[in-house]
Structure 1
Amino acid sequence: MNELKNLIPQNWDYFTQQFDTNVLFITVASFFAWIAWRLIYGRLELLVSRTSFHWDDLTLSALKTPISTLIWCWPATISLGFLLQNHMSSTLNWLSTLKLILVIGIFVWITMRLINNVETFVLDQKNRDETTVQAIAKVARLFFIVIGALTVMQAFGLSLSGLLTFGGVGGLIVGLAAKDLLSNFFGGMMIYFDRPFKVGDWVRSPDRQIEGTVERIGWRMTIIRTFDKRPIYVPNSVFSSIVVENPSRMLNRRINETIGIRYDDGAKVAQIVTDIKHMLENHPDIDANQTLIVNFNAFGPSSLDLLVYTFTKTVNWIRYHEVKQDVLLQIMAIIHQHDADIAFPTQTLKFDPVRTEVPTASTL
């Protein structure tokens, strides 16, 4: 046993003493600090739940996990310093840098969680513009990440002035090398600020074979889901050079139909036109303030053509077809009320009688 003790380093007793008196104390203190934080958090959570102000809930939720992490990691760096200070010949200045990086990381983490909480809360409000909220959240995240990264670089002793100078030259090089990437980035910014469409809108382009529902607007590309459920990934720079139509923002949907009446019912056309126009003016789903035309329009090959041109109040695609069906059925009923009928393609063939010569005696 004595020989085994001789094999143990001479400073083992000091190391054990230091561990017992310092590290153990710090660990126990961290545990009690964490318990105190949990109790305080529970009390604060109970208090903020009683208020009608939602921002305190979002802020408290953002603080929960980062503060718990800080309570354990900050004392851990102190304990690490106690364990290493007598076993390393060099100074432990890097521990101070590590503590500063820890604080910066916790601050950025709290900010990211708060931004995410606010974004989720605002998007749950149905009257908010989803595209604008997401754009502001992305810019805020990017801003705090850049600030955090610059602060960490400064903590490592890097000169920010030199870094910014290098960034100017490097930015020029990167800009030339990543021209398409930057054009997509600024194309995304154009979409966010001009807002020609937003997430959930139905868009199409007459210049390209692009039509569907906007599913996501990213910094580099926009995802559009076609009506047959295929995703289309469109680089944002494309939208700066094409025409984009947004049917989701239409105010009305149009009914534009040509209805043929039989030529035999020509005397009844005027009254039919009057009744159809009166029906449309009083229809609950037709916008009478918009252009409304019902007129005898043309002599067709086999019908007297009536033009019915009006707009529905609804812009919903399914509801529009229901309204259009009701309008067409009522038009057909009005035509039948006048003992008339809708024409169908017909042809009239006219035969001239063939003369038959009776033979005479002179021709025999």
Structure 2
Amino acid sequence: MTINLSPETVRLLLVLAATVAAHYLARRALQQAEKVAAHTENVWDDSLIAAARKPLPLLIWVGGISFALHLLHRQTDEALLEYVAPVRSIAIVICISWFLLKLIRELADNMVAARIRAGGHVDRTTVDGLGKVARISVFVVAAMAVMQTLGFSLSGVLAFGGMGGIAVGFAAKDLLANFFGAVMIHLDRPFNVGDAVRSPDKNIEGWVEQIGWRQTIIRSPDKTPLYVPNSLFTSIVVENPSRMSHRRIRETIGLRYEDIGRMENIVEEVRTMLDQHPDIDNEQPSFVAFDQFADSSINFVIQAFSKTTELKQYHAIKQEILLQVAAIIARNGADFAFPTRTVLLNQTPA
């Protein structure tokens, strides 16, 4: 049996067949390129291939189907098919935007992973900040391209945005304050993701887990998440212990008043012990000195700075120093003071 096909139908079938073939070849090419890229150290090829894995086949089908509908429109003059061209343009913008968004995310993840494998320092805050700015830029450009495709005047849209921006600013002032607070965090960088922070002004203490455009997530010492608006960081003092160069040991030791004669030797031996301690930085202002005649004790003060900032090691060093101070006091025949009270009784002669 002979099937007679019109030239238009043949052209449509050829377009669809070419689309299927292009889709197959694109998938095969991406698979081969992925195998080759797996043996390289370059993060760009891995990111480009991963980002194009889904948008590229979709773009091929958009092109093939839109061309087939264009041929069908020439054959039938269907009015509805006149919208194929703008829909195709919008679909192409969506595919390209999808590819760029995936590329930004893949690049950020691959660069961070490569730095970690190399043993280098990773500034996750900067990477996240640049990624967010890039994604916003893609969204804005894509939205403007879609509006222009739909026939909107960009100059009119921008003018309307300028007038509406005032109203939006008043209605969403808190949201904008948090947004600009996030911008200042990324610019000034008072802390990064993973840093331990605290604020003496507010009941805020913990480790930074995420810096968003509206709020920052901090995990408190009891593992409770704190959601802090970014605008708050522009008006409070934030301490960042993660960036301290040393940790300070400062203790006041109280001796009995009857040990006043032993104070000088004890202070001198403690000072010598600190000077010879391998974990104490003698370049910092360390000292040991008789400090005060207190109510129930005579006090001397110890100040020293450990070379390490790691909390567990710091407490181990502090414990060792305090035990050595106790041994020095005992060796000199002195003892620690405790609160005492002397009561004088006036006895009346009988």
Asked if TM exceeds 0.5, the reply is yes
User: Structure 1 residues 278 and 151 mapped into 2: Cα distance closer, same or farther (>3 Å)?
Assistant: same
Q: Given that residues 45 and 60 in structure 1 are in contact (C-alpha distance below 8 angstroms), is that contact kept between their aligned partners in structure 2?
A: yes
Q: What secondary structure does 1:92 align onto?
A: helix
CA distance in structure 1 between the partners assigned to 2:296 and 2:340 by the alignment: 6
Q: Which residue of 2 aligns with 1:111?
A: 100
Matches within 5 A, 1:283-322: 283-322=277-316
Q: CA deviation at 1:60?
A: 2.0
Q: CA deviation at 1:37?
A: 1.6
Q: Given that residues 262 and 302 in structure 1 are in contact (C-alpha distance below 8 angstroms), is that contact kept between their aligned partners in structure 2?
A: yes
Q: Which residue of 2 aligns with 1:43?
A: 32
Q: CA deviation at 1:224?
A: 2.0
Letter in structure 2 aligned against 1:338: N
Would you say 1:236 and 2:238 are equivalent positions?
A: no
CA distance in structure 2 between the partners assigned to 1:310 and 1:54 by the alignment: 46
Q: CA deviation at 1:134?
A: 0.8
Q: Given that residues 34 and 71 in structure 1 are in contact (C-alpha distance below 8 angstroms), is that contact kept between their aligned partners in structure 2?
A: yes
1:85-137 CA-to-partner distances (Å, cap 9, x unmatched) read 65664263311112211221111111111100111123332512211111111
Q: Which moved more, 1:63-72 or 1:148-157?
A: 63-72
Would you say 1:102 and 2:91 are equivalent positions?
A: yes
Q: Given that residues 18 and 82 in structure 1 are in contact (C-alpha distance below 8 angstroms), is that contact kept between their aligned partners in structure 2?
A: no
CA distance in structure 2 between the partners assigned to 1:157 and 1:350 by the alignment: 100
Q: Which residue of 2 aligns with 1:165?
A: 159
Q: Given that residues 45 and 57 in structure 1 are in contact (C-alpha distance below 8 angstroms), is that contact kept between their aligned partners in structure 2?
A: yes
Q: Which residue of 1 aligns with 2:53?
A: 64
Letter in structure 1 aligned against 2:259: D
Q: Which residue of 1 aligns with 2:132?
A: 138
Aligned counterpart for 1:52 among listed residues 33, 41, 48:
41
Letter in structure 2 aligned against 1:51: T
Q: What secondary structure does 1:339 align onto?
A: coil
- Higher CA-based Rg: 1
State the number of aligned residues. 343
User: Structure 1 residues 298 and 69 mapped into 2: Cα distance closer, same or farther (>3 Å)?
Assistant: same
CA distance in structure 2 between the partners assigned to 1:89 and 1:251 by the alignment: 75
Aligned counterpart for 2:79 among listed residues 60, 69, 90:
90
CA distance in structure 2 between the partners assigned to 1:56 and 1:89 by the alignment: 44
Q: Which runs of 5+ in 2 are unaligned?
A: none
Letter in structure 2 aligned against 1:49: A
Q: Which runs of 5+ in 1 are unaligned?
A: 1-12, 357-364
Letter in structure 2 aligned against 1:59: L
Letter in structure 2 aligned against 1:103: I
Q: What secondary structure does 1:214 align onto?
A: strand
Q: What secondary structure does 1:291 align onto?
A: coil
Report the TM-score when normalising by structure 2.
0.89
Q: Given that residues 257 and 309 in structure 1 are in contact (C-alpha distance below 8 angstroms), is that contact kept between their aligned partners in structure 2?
A: yes
Q: CA deviation at 1:308?
A: 0.8
CA distance in structure 2 between the partners assigned to 1:206 and 1:344 by the alignment: 32
CA distance in structure 2 between the partners assigned to 1:218 and 1:129 by the alignment: 15
Q: Given that residues 181 and 220 in structure 1 are in contact (C-alpha distance below 8 angstroms), is that contact kept between their aligned partners in structure 2?
A: yes
Q: CA deviation at 1:194?
A: 1.1
Letter in structure 2 aligned against 1:112: L
Identity of aligned residues (%): 43
Q: Given that residues 85 and 92 in structure 1 are in contact (C-alpha distance below 8 angstroms), is that contact kept between their aligned partners in structure 2?
A: no
Q: What secondary structure does 2:79 align onto?
A: coil
Matches within 5 A, 1:320-359: 320-349=314-343, 355=349
Aligned counterpart for 1:282 among listed residues 276, 284, 287:
276
Would you say 1:149 and 2:138 are equivalent positions?
A: no
